[in-house]
Structure 1
Amino acid sequence: MWYQKDWFTGSDYYNFRERQISVQELCIINPVEQVFHERTEIYYVRSGKATIWVNGEKFKVRQGSFLCLYMHLFYRIDEIEEPLDCVKVSFHIGLFMFLCFEKREVWENEMLIYRVEPLLYLNMEEQKRVETIFAELLLEEETQRFGSQNISIYLAMELHALYCRYAMEKRESLSGGASQIWSVIQRVLLDTSKTLSLEEYAKAAGMTAVTLNRHITKNCGYTFFQLQKMGKVFHACALLHFPDLDLQYISDYLGFTNLEDFCRVFKRYMKMSVREYQTQHIGAGVGMRGEEEALQVLQYLLLCFHKPFQMEEMAQQLKMKPFQMEKRSREQFGRTVQELLEEIRVRMACSYLAATERSVTQIGQDVGFGSISTFQRSFQKYMNQTPSEYRSEYRLFVKK
């Protein structure tokens, strides 16, 4: 590889700049303004207390803090309670292609860059190991003996590898891992015809309601209550494609208190009234902004499930690459984009079976399945019964 523009894997990997390692001791007594940095910076804090903001998120820095700040992370340091005595090593990320040499799951390198905390708090054993490496780095920087550059590279690689190890281990040790939380997020958005409480989801996830709500908010930027309302609005967008369904029925079916509450919530999330949506966007699909790319993928599929699916079109709309969307989907939902879309179509079919008198064949076409056999097979896969059986069972339940 002589030249690779993607900074994640290394740019012009063989030039001198790419092999440079910078190590320095710092005493930070004044706030550090947010600046652009083109190299990855690893900090280890030997003493002191301060606050660091990384991409808008606030972290407390103290003794034993271990930070890895990649070039796409914007940070600043303020509220310095005690001067920070720290060591910093800087390098270009392309140097660390060694990550590819170790056999990993396909999503792990991407997760190390984007999906772990930038700041870790090390225990005593971890602190001793990191401090030893920094001491050796400083010694090589000071003496500049034969081979110092190579030894510094190896030491910096070891330092970064330790950060990756600790970050992944601490991520996995958190109560309610991210994959479990994203599974809950998906369920909340899809389980809209029945209004389950936060406590019910928390009990199924094996944690308290407060803890679950905190994890949901941290992962996607929305509280449980907001997600639940959002899911109902997305579901309403689907039902509004049927002009024979009146608004009162849709409001009641989705569990809103009254029609006024439904219209108010719809406008809050869609930035337009129900009537405006029906007039302007029926069949067009509306993308909503989301801080998390995985949530954007799910939002897009929820709003555009009825359209013929084209990965390239979706990528263009979300301004993401197809492989990136697949990674997000597999990472957070444990399935491909196509599999996620299949489940969403089945869930929407459940609503149509319950809410309309359309034939099973027509509903299969309405939700985007290419043939009745494909629809029947997919429905059986997720619901363990045929569409006709589901319709009969649902209406029998309603009569009771």
Structure 2
Amino acid sequence: MKPYTIVAALALGSLTVPLAAESASAPFQARSSSSSSANGDPFEQFVPATQRKDHRIDYAHWDEALEWFVIPMGPSLRQGARRPDAGTGTRFVYGHDSRYRLEGNRVAFSFLSPQIRNALTEYRKDLEQVGNSLDISTLPRNEQLAFWINLHNVAVVEAVALEYPMREPAKRTFGTNNATLQDAKLVTIGGIDLSPRDIREKIVYPNWKDPKVIYAFWRGEIGGPSIQRTAFTGANVDFLLSLGAEEFVNSLRGIESFGGALQVSKIYQEAEPFYFQDREDLRAHLAKFARDDVKKLIAKKDRIAFNRYESDIADMLYGRGDPGLTWVCVQGRGGEGIPTNGASAVGLCSDEPVVTDRAAKRLMLERAQKLNRAWRRGIRTGTVIFGNGDFADGETPKEVE
């Protein structure tokens, strides 16, 4: 018997057509309206149940959206990017200048139109509807985990998109409680208002023993784990977690060495109470996903310390574009199609001129140069996933503990 599939709907037409959301209906008996358990802990309702239903949630539309607006940056070469040169006639550097700017995938927030942002809101509401119509705790464990990861990441992408542009999400407030991003109440499931931190620390971390779950959660910042270009599902969640762990552990964001200590990301400090009883547990976890050169670094340093966390937004422009835009005019209603520069081009050219932002162009050029260096060194720069997520009869995906 095939599992029943619930569809959370977010339709994506093409690169030039906005996302169009439609309501998703879950043909399941409504979950209990009670948000409290017998011991008074409202989060008990999210503990995975012993008896489970063989159902799954279809994230195909979110999958398509991620492929559209997530820019892959490739693997880390473990070389900090040098500070970029200022533009001609100015000392100011527009765009990203972090030494980590070539690590971790980016969300192209500057390309998200109001229609697309509204569609993200509708999709987040669809996921909430699924979570409130179906008792998530009764799904197979991988399906539960995929739901919480996708809900977390959709909510973060939507929250940042609605407030964009910004340079550091941590310096803005979001949600119904007007809090910083990680503590902002962005979704409501089972009568409980949830923040990204709630999903991580009160639902997933206490109920999944494998520490690689920490690499699933996108925080909107360069310093955190990379956002995947593929939606998590019950079938692929174990693989994508390992992929995220490998990328992060082998990046400068994850591990550096200076000052006589192994400097590791502060995300491990957050996860430490749940997964690492001592620093040797953490060391063993890092070594599991490290390349040979990083393994040597991990073994060489006796002391482990938490590094500075890069809080810059993981976008293409660092929140603000270069004012020296190049407007490429095309024939249209607005004018005669005369090439020009500056804001006045809007009055002379088409109503929809093609705009090239020098900050984005520089980042993409640096990305191309990095990927070329990686290719010459024999470092894998991408991953191809075959199949549609279905398994043969009697075959099941590996369950994340």
TM-score over 0.5 (shorter chain): no
TM-score w.r.t. the length of structure 2 is 0.25
Higher relative contact order (CA 8 A, sep 6+): 2
Task: Say which one has the larger Rg.
Answer: 1
For normalisation by structure 1, the TM-score amounts to: 0.25
Higher helix share: 1
